[in-house]
Amino acid sequence: MRIVLIGYGKMGREIERLAIGRGHEIVAKIDIDNAADLISLTASDADVAIEFSNPASAFANIMTCIEKQIPVVCGTTGWLEKKKEVEEATKVHDGTFFYASNYSIGVNLFFRLNKMLAQLMAPHKEYGIYTNEIHHLEKKDSPSGTAITIAEGIIDAYAEKTTWVNNQIPRADEVAIWSQRESIKPGTHTVKYISKVDQIEITHEAFSREGFALGAVIAAEWVSDKKGVLGMDDMLI
* Residues labelled as active-site residues: 135, 139
Whole-angstrom Cα distance, residue 20 to residue 150?
32
Whole-angstrom Cα distance, residue 151 to residue 7?
27
Q: Could you write out the three-class secondary structure of the chain?
A: CEEEEECCCHHHHHHHHHHHHCCCEEEEEECHHHCCHHHHCCCCCCCEEEECCCCCCHHHHHHHHHHCCCCEEECCCCCHHHHHHHHHHHHHCCCEEEECCCCCHHHHHHHHHHHHHHHHHCCCCCCEEEEEEEECCCCCCCCCHHHHHHHHHHHHHCCCCCEEEECCCCCCCEEEEEEEECCCCCEEEEEEEECCCCEEEEEEEECCCHHHHHHHHHHHHHHCCCCEEECHHHHCC
Total length of the chain: 237
